[in-house]
Structure 1
């Protein structure tokens, strides 16, 4: 559990390195493969269980299941997540210790640990729809220069290099400081590169701007009959006044509880039809402003019954026109759909998000050209955590909009979500704007810096010129093939060290 202290909001990264070093030393000293696997599983269960404990709060919003189930559910889910550190420990004990384990961990062991963790963290973020939360690499964001390594090798490889850094502390405890001193010097040098950084030219007075609105209406208020109207008014109250520069006004995921698309049966429009709602959204906008808002896209069959639902982003211009829609592609299991629904529903398990139907996934990351603002990439909530899968590579955006609704969760969840978005900005060299109903909303530049942000659980708005994008980074060009290349290089170097020792 100490290993999770390096993640946001605590950011105690030295504790994470010490915890990993202790675990790696125990794995090296394990008397058998079975013992190593048990150590890996126990460490993974504690580490990833503590890091994901924020999920438990979501159970308090679902009355179909008992609220007390939150902590046990996280503990059970962490048994699955623990399989990946268990695999790391097994690989490391079997192949990383060398012919003379009695001599203790060495450089070859550190490199093997790095390769194994890179491979298993990638697998955790890929298999069974993937759940990479939280990648170890996020502990470096307080030392931004170290986090910038992700622009060259990606998040998974940076996580592996973090494990190698921790492993160098093991011989240091025996008085062998050379490897630890080299790793420490590298951290210091990289950290220094993140101080100050590039100076961008001031934006022109009429340059397009971003305005993020955070109404601070949480899940407790959703059952109210007047929630749709209260939320729309709260969003518009924080919308600010138009100026000479065009503004992209950003609302959170699920901000609209009204429908904005035509085609619904008359009974499905609560207090106004879609055209009237779009006109209300457009009324306070300047002539070149556009609102991007989260909401539900509902499809209806000929008999008026719902046959499709999508978690969507809508673009509405100052004339009330619906310019575009993006449907979320990477849906959250047990949140936006219930896996194996016929079986699980029979035993009383339902989605954490109340609702009678599952969402339909969209086609994948998309870039939408918005008049006056250029190409904007769209990602809803959870989609931003998947390294290497956040943009349409054929249409590189200049900005990514990532609305989210983290009001279901305890504070660690939103803070960790923001940290992962910052790594995506670094990897791709593209600024990211996050709008959430209760925080943390933020504008992140292409170097992963927080240009502006709101506080958690406070209403507010932020407005700044759109930060510029950088040319494609090495990771943006090669993606997670770089993680594979780093894994193979580390493994090959570890083998070479072993052979030389023999």
Structure 2
């Protein structure tokens, strides 16, 4: 181990960058759909040893001394995000004649931007570097900070944070309800990087003991929280989830809209599956309604005929809203609409967190004058909604709806479920085909269910649709590219918040504690205290 670490420490130039890139790429095996978390026990020790050798000229200024460390982190992140997000480029091939030019932006530029956060993490950690466990604590705190920043800077894109590697199954997801995503990110890096101590002589035992305690606590809490427990207050809601599996090119074809709508009606009207009760709620995916209801009132009539007494449909649809004054443009919203059994729209919730470059173009007027349109081939530019509220469901229940990638933002979901009994997520992952993207998206929905302690019902156009309980267990699901429905009686218990305060705050406290340890050991080193 010491020989390997020594060789990595002495690497320079393109060889150092290549190893960092490969280590980051190898770490992708730890996330869905691979879930080989042991990959991180290789990638992060390699990263530590590369940082051990990230030194600059003694005469360099303070910031310049951190450039080698930033470079290593950036290459590590570039490998992680290139191999973890390559599937985003599939959206550019849906209408390749018009949008293939943007493929390098999705496959290379997006990962390059995301990698800056990891570069900042390693540069910050290197500023507090020691030759003992202090450097592990510094790296863990810095990565936790970088992942936290990645969740909101430039509107945020917290896809595949490192902490997810430690949560491949429900047993290992429960800790996130206590320490939140920030805590899981920091603690995961702390444990994953601990084998780097095997190449030295200091803090081997304490490092191994700390890692063992954290792993055992992680497992023990999972067993405790998943222990069977009756819930006399639980209520049931019969739900039909419709997965129409409409090819994305067909969805964009204006001549196929009636066929798409008929497919949705047919799937929704099918008799209940054997042993299932008629659904109280029917759920359609994001933008499943292929036209504006204001232009096709006959569609609402058809839905009124479809729905039986007391039934409700929640469907993803584009909602149009005219502005005062004939000279001003109509606003379009990516929404979910609730339709009652007489074909009336009784509620609507608009998507608040839009996808930059896909659902809207930042500084759109300027870019259009330069001849640049949105990157993703969407037919409309959307406006962001202004507020979220729970939608009233049959049986006196309330559901908090989140559209597409809104479900990846922990704080957005935690705040948005106030007053709701369950979470609804509608999405269209058909842009990305049968790639890791839809699996990773579904995993994020599992984590949100655990964080909020609420059942999550998910409808996706081509998969993965399913029902997840408040502890992250998948009750039922449909595979990708399957056209089918799920009929299920969903058990919904009262939300039970964890007794240890806000998980995000707890995670930030853990991050600060690790940073304090790193600073303390760095100070001891400078003072020459062994």
How many pairs were matched up?
A: 484
Q: How does 1:168-247 map to 2 (within 5 A)?
A: 168-174=194-200, 176=204, 178-180=206-208, 182-184=210-212, 186-188=214-216, 190-191=218-219, 194=222, 197-199=226-228, 201=230, 207-239=236-268, 240-241=270-271, 246-247=279-280
- 1:139–1:205 Cα change, 3 Å: closer
Equivalent residue for 1:114?
140
CA distance in 2, matches of 1:81, 1:404: 23
- 2:318 match: secondary structure: strand
Deviation at 1:347, TM superposition (A): 4.3
Equivalent residue for 2:176?
150
| Aligned counterpart for 1:250 among listed residues 283, 289, 308 | 283
Equivalent residue for 2:319?
297
CA distance in 2, matches of 1:394, 1:467: 17
- 2:492 match: secondary structure: coil
> Is the CA contact 2:175–2:222 (under 8 Å) kept in the aligned structure 1?
no
The CA deviation string for residues 109-152 of structure 1, in whole angstroms up to 9 with x for no partner, is 22221111111111111111111112122223324333211100
Length-normalised TM-score, structure 2? 0.84
Q: Which runs of 4+ in 1 moved over 6 A?
A: 202-206
Length-normalised TM-score, structure 1? 0.89
- Pair 1:81-2:114 in alignment: yes
The CA deviation string for residues 290-312 of structure 1, in whole angstroms up to 9 with x for no partner, is 11100100123564985110000
> Is the CA contact 2:231–2:493 (under 8 Å) kept in the aligned structure 1?
no
Deviation at 1:201, TM superposition (A): 4.7
Equivalent residue for 2:124?
91
Equivalent residue for 1:413?
437
RMSD, aligned α-carbons:
2.7
> Is the CA contact 2:117–2:150 (under 8 Å) kept in the aligned structure 1?
yes
Structure 1 unaligned runs (5+)?
99-103
CA distance in 2, matches of 1:353, 1:86: 28
- 2:443 match: secondary structure: helix
> Is the CA contact 2:102–2:375 (under 8 Å) kept in the aligned structure 1?
no
CA distance in 2, matches of 1:185, 1:405: 41
> Is the CA contact 2:417–2:423 (under 8 Å) kept in the aligned structure 1?
no
The CA deviation string for residues 367-420 of structure 1, in whole angstroms up to 9 with x for no partner, is 222242511101101111111111546833111111001110142111111111
The CA deviation string for residues 25-77 of structure 1, in whole angstroms up to 9 with x for no partner, is 21132113221111011111111222111100000124574425414532112
CA distance in 2, matches of 1:143, 1:463: 24
Deviation at 1:285, TM superposition (A): 2.7
> Is the CA contact 1:206–1:244 (under 8 Å) kept in the aligned structure 2?
no
- Pair 1:16-2:40 in alignment: yes
- 1:390 match: secondary structure: helix
CA distance in 2, matches of 1:166, 1:316: 49
CA distance in 2, matches of 1:306, 1:343: 18
CA distance in 2, matches of 1:392, 1:15: 33
The CA deviation string for residues 272-291 of structure 1, in whole angstroms up to 9 with x for no partner, is x32x3123123233322211
- 1:325 match: secondary structure: strand
